[in-house]
Chains A and B, each alone.
Chain A
């Protein structure tokens, strides 16, 4: 069905957060942290706007809206609303509402709270633009905006070196992947000639049929895998836990890191289903799932445990998307929804514990259930969903995904085993996150723990209850949310029938039981498990996180070495290199293409013309034999004046006039420079250096002469000069054609040139003002020293 055109309200919905970002600091100045209540209205309204799409989209309709941006390049700001983008838009705006509230409570009294709101809103807008983006280029721009805004958010606490490093790392990894994505998009545009996603999706085989499918596939994957923290690019995500918790809860659970998964799902009809797709994606996704869960078990910091399970969940989603099986894709969509809800809630719970108890190390927490009852309930609901137990949406997701992987003939078994192990370890973490801090005897915490304010518990409660509610009305949520999204993935309208309780005893149910059994067994051994994994990682001793530092250090070192060669700081080297390449540029093409100019015949000069040529010649000789540089400069002036005379004789008074002035000023300024810079009065070049300079000079001179001869021997196209001669008087009211060209016909060029003159003047002035200091060798820049990760021997 072709998408229907809708009005611009949806476009403004995408832009609304950017407007909110502008007013947020002012509101925060007036209302302090209570500004969150006002600001949360913005995402809430956006959420309401998109709920209006749920019903028509579930009937298989889709919508587009567009605004011209750079129409000459086919770049429009356009949105495409279908099942997938509606689900994502609802998640972003819905969770965003509670994140804004949570940020109001979490950063209460922080001097930069307004700025924080601003960054959050900018991120929210970028994310909405990304998931709704129809035009590939505007999609890419929003993609990069999410990288930039997440850089700002992760580095919010910019006084800490660890924050800065994490922010830079996230930017380098996701921004670098973004460039791969741009290349992929450009290939798509050039291969298919289409730039709008909705048009591409209407003919699903359009990319698979081109010869560029493989490069497009890998470039798009480069973007998706870096953004969604797939192994081996996973390391930036746990490091990003340096950000304030609202950021982690928003970016690193529901939105930013899901952007890669979104892209893979969005491109699934276009790129998916091929052998390449069903091999590469399950492989990387599966490895990421296992690595993520294993590393999560090793952690004792609540946020880091959750971060690594996020990595694992993203791996699971990529693995499922990679199967290209309808049932597994349905599991992926369900798990995506479930994960956004429970992970967002759990991150906020972790933040609340940190905020109220003063630590998030599970070894220092315990017995908080009576002190923080509301948070405790929310944590329980969310972690039960994470563990995949009924009656939560996490359970339904797990059932469906087992059904999908088990039924896949080619790679069903290894995928299913990976999923079972991953889910069992996920259950271990889910249990550890709740049982350690909340149950057991009360442990003395750095702060006296008590329940947080409503701003802090509103989010976790609502999200975890939603996770329960959506499961209780499984049939409806399947019809309204899951089915339309799945339709976007498979490219045709599909039906989804969800049940909260399994209808019969089948393989998925047994696999669930195995998962739960394995998980419980592993949980009882969690301390031993942690020790084993820890010592194994210490034995390996190297990880991509360390590799990132080595990569950065290597790049800095390489650029230092290149700079040392290219920019020696010696004027002589610069000049000789410039002239060598100028000479080659004018000489080589002539010889290569065998288009050397014919030797001109000796012109019939008058005696005074010969006289002027002789003056020029003697000027040159004088330059060569001059004892001191000052004499050489003045002698060069002789030659210049002779050239000016030649211009005059051949009817170019303006040129000649200018040449006179330029020669005069050059001599004056060169002489001043000579005396000013305390250069040695005579030339220091002898022997070999003089020969090299001589050869270069002759080569350049010869090359330029030949170029000039070659140009004059071409037939002269007089159209331009005829035009100027004809219209200089009638259009531009001037008889001096040269001047008319400069100030009128080509005035815009002149404007650029005088801008260069001003800049050159400024630069020279700055150079002269630099006092010469005693010679100091250029030092190798110190590699930015990064703080070692919190625990020594840590491998991420």
Chain B
């Protein structure tokens, strides 16, 4: 697997895939995409990087343990359901906040954070499995 071409391309490819996954995640509300698909793309990116350059470098690159990322995602998603409670609405009622940054209107919403949580859960869980399987290959 570790041909010179693959090893040379893999880091760029992975970086591009991660970037693309974030793009897919953010546009999900209005166009095809979303946290789940984005997460799968990012997990593939990790898998490819791992196959090409070794699991150790992937783990260094993402700093946190993938299961930790996954758990944080679940936490974030659950948290995103809470703000509505302070407005005396049912749990997970969506809240929207329009913010103007440099003249661009950015819609911040609880579903956005929920979707980011889904993204992190998928990246973490699938990435964790893929990395663990690759790691044992190197034993």
Tell me the A residues contacting B by CB distance below 8 Å. Answer: 653-654, 657-658, 661-662, 664-665, 668-669, 672-673, 675-676, 732-736, 738-740, 742-744, 747-748, 750-751, 754-755, 757-758, 760-762, 764-765, 768-769
- Map CB proximity to A onto B61-103 as digits: 1 under 8 Å, 0 otherwise: 0000001001101100110010000000001101010000000
B37 in the interface (beta carbon within 8 A): yes
Residues facing A in B99-129 (CB within 8 A) are: 107, 109, 111, 114-115, 117-118, 121-122, 124-126, 128-129
B34 touches A761 (CB 8 A): no
Tell me if B60 counts as interface (CB < 8 A to partner A).
no
Q: Is the CB of B137 within 8 A of A739?
A: no
Contact between A758 and B137, CB atoms less than 8 A apart:
no
A654 contacts B33, C-beta separation under 8 Å: yes
Nearest to A759 among chain B residues (CB) is B125
Q: Which residue of chain A has its CB nearest to the CB of B65?
A: A765
Which 5 A-B pairs have CB atoms at the shortest separation, nearest pair first?
A: A761-B125, A661-B40, A672-B133, A653-B32, A734-B29
Known contacts A657-B32, A736-B31, A742-B36; decide if A747 and B111 are in contact (CB<8 Å): yes
Asked if A658 and B111 sit within 8 Å, CB to CB, the answer is: no
Known: A733-B96, A768-B132. Is A657-B37 also a contact (CB below 8 A)? yes
Whether the Cβ atoms of B29 and A736 lie closer than 8 Å is yes
Q: Give Cα A672 to B91, complex, Å.
A: 41
In the complex the two chains form, is A757's CB within 8 Å of B121's CB?
Answer: yes
Given A757-B125, A761-B129, 14 other A-B residues pairs in contact with their CB atoms under 8 A: A661-B37, A665-B130, A668-B130, A675-B137, A733-B29, A735-B31, A740-B29, A742-B35, A743-B111, A748-B91, A748-B92, A758-B71, A765-B129, A768-B129
A738 to B36, CA, bound (A): 11
- B44 at the binding interface (Cβ < 8 Å): yes
Scan residues 1-36 of chain B and give those whose CB is less than 8 A from a CB of chain A. 28-36
Q: Are A665 and B40 in contact (CB under 8 A)?
A: yes
Given A661-B44, A665-B43, A744-B94, is A751 in contact with B78 using a C-beta cutoff of 8 Å?
yes
Q: CB distance B118 to A750 under 8 Å?
A: yes
Can you give 21 A-B contacts (C-beta < 8 A)?
A653-B32, A657-B32, A657-B33, A665-B40, A673-B133, A736-B29, A736-B30, A739-B28, A739-B29, A743-B111, A747-B81, A751-B78, A751-B92, A751-B114, A754-B121, A757-B122, A758-B70, A758-B74, A761-B67, A764-B128, A764-B132
B125 to chain A, nearest CB (A): 3
B residues within 8 A CB of A675? 137
What is the CA–CA distance of A739 and B115 in the complex, to the nearest angstrom? 9
Q: Which residues of B contact A (CB under 8 A)?
A: 28-37, 40-41, 43-44, 47, 67, 70-71, 73-74, 77-78, 81, 91-92, 94, 96, 107, 109, 111, 114-115, 117-118, 121-122, 124-126, 128-130, 132-134, 136-137
Contact B129 A755 (CB under 8 A): no
- Alpha-carbon distance between A669 and B125 when the two chains are bound, in angstroms: 13
Q: Which residues of A contact B107 (CB under 8 A)?
A: 733
How would you classify the secondary structure of chain A's contact residues: helix, strand, loop or mixed?
helix
The secondary-structure label for the interface of chain B is helix
A759, B40: Cα distance in complex, Å? 17
Q: Cα distance A658–B37 when bound, in Å? A: 6
Residue pair A765, B67 in contact (C-beta under 8 Å): yes
Whether the Cβ atoms of A654 and B32 lie closer than 8 Å is yes
Closest chain A residue, CB of each to CB of B47: A668
Q: Given A676-B136, A754-B73, is A739 in contact with B34 using a C-beta cutoff of 8 Å?
A: yes
Contacting A761 at CB < 8 Å: which of B44, B94, B126? B126
Question: How long is the Cα–Cα vector from A742 to B81 in the complex, in angstroms?
Answer: 13
The chain B residue with its CB closest to the CB of A754 is B121
- Say whether B114 contacts A743, CB under 8 Å: yes
B-chain residues with CB within 8 Å of residue A735 when the two chains form the complex: 29-31
CA distance A658 to B34 in the complex (A): 10
A739 neighbours in B (Cβ, 8 Å): 28-29, 33-34, 115
B120 to nearest A CB, angstroms?
9
Which residue of B29, B33, B114, B130 has the most chain A CB atoms within 10 A of its CB atom?
B29
B132 and A769 form a contact (CB under 8 A): yes
State how many angstroms separate the Cβ of A629 from the closest Cβ of chain B.
Answer: 15
- Checking B28, B109, B126 against A665 with a beta-carbon cut-off of 8 angstroms, the contacting residue is B126
8 Å CB contact of A743 from B34, B37, B126, B129: B34
- Give the Cβ gap from A667 to chain B, nearest Cβ, in Å: 11
A672 and B111 form a contact (CB under 8 A):
no
Contacts of B94 in A (CB 8 A): 732-733, 744, 747
Known: A739-B34, A754-B77. A665 touches B134 (CB 8 A): no
A739–B74 Cα distance when bound, in Å, is 18
Q: How far is the CA of A742 from the CA of B130 in the complex (A)?
A: 25
Task: With both chains docked as a complex, state the minimum distance between the C-beta of B70 and any C-beta of chain A, in angstroms.
Answer: 5
Collect the chain A residues with CB atoms within 8 Å of residue B137's CB: 672, 675-676
Chain B's closest residue to A654 (CB) is B32
CA distance A761 to B121 in the complex (A): 9
| A765 to B134 CA separation, bound complex (whole angstroms) | 12
Let me know if B130 and A761 touch, CB within 8 A: no
Q: How far is the CB of A280 from chain B (nearest CB, A)?
A: 52
The CA-CA distance from A675 to B138 in the complex, in Å, is 11
